[in-house]
């Protein structure tokens, strides 16, 4: 085990022998760290935190700290982190609360850039990118392959759907549908189209992207239709397309309301 002599590792922590722990890092009681991880200098990993394999935990991070919730009173809650994540310098990720899931979950293959924050009870999927200083409030749910621009704040209890792209300096206070590009703050939030580049990179076929663009025009660019009418029309006109069905279902299962206001994307 490659632990620098200045690092502080509690004897009741479990650190895989292949993991490297840098100078002045602190790993506290109850932490479990998997194989081939790199814990950089001055990182702090605390609480009931389990970290998978091949993760890089950057300098001055605080991983597994107590939630910033006045209702929290030192209950035994958890943080679970998957494999192959890059967690850069000054990132903070907090444990869950008894009033939420009791656990904060971060998936695998994510890039969390400098100063990003994931609050208590969040659920973050796989292959998510959070740019510098992006912040998630408590109980936020982030889907697969979401990109969140720098200096963006996401309101607590908000959902962001799979493959969504959030522009930098946004303030997200409503649910953001899957597959779309969104930017703006509060009542100025705008969906400006389907995330075609992201979908192509993820292996979506040209035909599926075309169907999603058709659904986008029905749902977001048909002001004469009420929302439920637009959702029904999208399913009627584009049957047997799972991504379109998932887009419609996201609207129908939202408890916060979903961003529907369309911006100028130049698509006709």
Give me the domain span that covers residue 225.
198-252
The SS3 assignment for 106 reads: strand
Q: Please answer whether residues 176 and 245 qualify as being in contact, where contact means their C-beta atoms are separated by less than 8 angstroms.
A: no
Residue 73 designated active-site: no
Element (H, E) at 129: strand 129-130
Number of independent structural domains in the chain: 2
Determine the pLDDT at residue 170.
98
Is residue 89 situated within a structural domain?
yes
Catalytic residue among 121, 125, 137, 198: 121
Q: For 16-58, write each residue's pLDDT tens digit.
A: 999 999 999 999 999 999 999 999 999 999 999 999 999 999 9
Is 80 exceeded by the pLDDT of residue 267? Answer: no
Q: Are residues 138 and 210 in the same domain?
A: no
CATH number, domain containing residue 86: 2.160.10.10
Catalytic residue among 120, 143, 149, 175: 120
Q: How many CB atoms lie within 10 A of CB 36?
A: 15
Residue 162 designated active-site: no
Q: For 103-114, write each residue's pLDDT tens digit.
A: 999 999 999 999
Residue 265 designated active-site: no
**Global model pTM greater than 0.85:** yes
Catalytic residue among 138, 149, 161, 193: 138
Q: Please answer whether residues 199 and 179 qualify as being in contact, where contact means their C-beta atoms are separated by less than 8 angstroms.
A: yes
Is residue 10 situated within a structural domain?
yes
CATH number, domain containing residue 203: 1.20.1180.10
Determine the pLDDT at residue 187.
85
């Amino acid at each position: 085990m490659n632990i620098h002599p200045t690092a502080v590792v509690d004897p009741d922590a479990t650190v895989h022998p292949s993991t490297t722990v840098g100078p002045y890092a602190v790993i506290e009681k109850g932490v479990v760290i998997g194989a081939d991880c790199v814990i950089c200098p001055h990182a702090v990993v605390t609480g009931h935190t389990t970290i998978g394999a091949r993760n890089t935990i950057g300098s001055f991070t605080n991983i597994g700290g107590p939630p910033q919730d006045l209702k929290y009173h030192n209950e035994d809650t958890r943080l679970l982190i998957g494999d192959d994540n890059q967690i850069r310098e000054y990132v903070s990720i907090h444990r869950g609360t008894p009033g939420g899931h009791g656990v904060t979950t971060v998936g695998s293959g994510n890039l969390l850039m400098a100063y990003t924050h994931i609050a208590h009870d969040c659920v973050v999927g796989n292959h998510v990118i959070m740019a510098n200083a992006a912040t998630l409030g408590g109980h936020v749910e982030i889907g697969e392959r979401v990109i969140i621009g720098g200096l963006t704040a996401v309101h607590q209890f908000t959902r962001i759907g799979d493959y969504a792209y959030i522009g930098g300096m946004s303030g997200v206070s409503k649910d953001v549908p899957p597959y779309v590009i969104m930017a703006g703050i509060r009542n100025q939030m705008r969906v400006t189209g389907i995330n075609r580049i992201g979908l192509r990179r993820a292996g979506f076929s040209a035909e599926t992207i075309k169907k999603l663009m058709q659904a986008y025009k029905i749902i977001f660019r048909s002001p004469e239709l009420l929302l439920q009418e637009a959702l029904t029309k999208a399913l009627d006109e584009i049957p047997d397309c799972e991504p379109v069905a998932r887009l419609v279902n996201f609207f129908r299962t939202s408890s916060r309301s979903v961003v529907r206001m369309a911006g100028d994307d130049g698509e006709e």
